[in-house]
Amino acid sequence: MNIKCIIIDDEPLAIKIIEDYLKEFSNFELIASFNNPFEAIETIERDDLDVIFLDINMPKMNGLEFVRTSIKSKNVIITTAYREYAVESYDLDVLDYLVKPIPFNRFLKSINRITQQVYIQRGEKKIDTTGDDSYIFLKVDKKLVKIRFDEILYIESLKDYIKVFTLTGDYLVHKSLTSITEELPTEGFIRIHRSFTIAKDKVKSVEGNLIEVGSKRIPIGRKYINHAKRAILNIDDNFDESSD
């Protein structure tokens, strides 16, 4: 049985992004999209509606107030540009809190959470339709490219872009190094320089404050050196800290 959902957001572009993301999941059925909560009330009262993707800052009624007064019994995914409402949202038992712009791989995690919750509520066994969390989707040349974590060697910052170096090729992505590093699994990746994040299991050697990954020798920045040596070498002696 499909998981039925609606979108409530006063920004057409925000609606379009979620609509496009949902098309990637065959077990999700988008019933309708609405520009304000009041238009959605009749649809929300349907017994078979499973999930609501809900913006917070909208005209006429705040999304959190709408949750508080009208839809406590529904699964709600908050979609907002504001981080400061997260604690209040979770106090209302929302299922997830997505901060715009929403990366596809973060949306994927939310889809997994929704799927598990809905099948539990229905008393059915969870069906894994989205695969595991062993990859990330990155936008390369106007298309989403699936990149497996175990194929990534390192990532280099290039001003407004990053370059992702993998075992099978390189990808130029309009994204910050800070953002991509936050989206990678912390047990497998570590930032070692203001311009580099590396895969820990791809380190070939360490010489002074240089790390060899693939055919690249990468410097360890001074501010990262203590954390890097603990994570990669698991030792407490000091590197030569001449590089930055």
Structure confidence by residue, pLDDT tens digits, 110-127: 888 888 788 777 775 444
Q: Give the predicted TM-score (pTM) of the model.
A: 0.55
Task: Given CATH 3.30.450.40, say whether it is the number of domain 135-232.
Answer: no
Q: Quick one: pLDDT at residue 178?
A: 87
Strands annotated E in the chain: 3-8, 28-34, 51-54, 75-80, 96-99, 135-140, 143-148, 152-158, 161-166, 170-173, 189-193, 196-199, 203-207, 210-213, 216-219
Nearest residue to 152 via CA among 164, 142, 161: 164
Q: Which residues of the chain have pLDDT under 70?
A: 1, 47, 72-73, 124-133, 234-244
CATH of 3-121, one of 3.40.50.2300, 3.40.50.920, 3.40.140.10, 3.90.550.10: 3.40.50.2300
SS3 76: strand
| Residue 237 confidence (pLDDT) | 47
Distance of CA 187 to the CA centre of its chain: 16
Any idea where the domains of the chain sit in the sequence?
Answer: 3-121, 135-232
> In angstroms, rounded to a whole number, what is the distance separating the alpha carbons of residues 171 and 117?
35
Q: How far is it, in rounded angstroms, from Cα 232 to Cα 188?
A: 10
Is-same-fold flag (3-121; 135-232)? no
pLDDT tens-place string over residues 7-44: 999 999 999 999 999 998 888 999 999 998 889 988 98
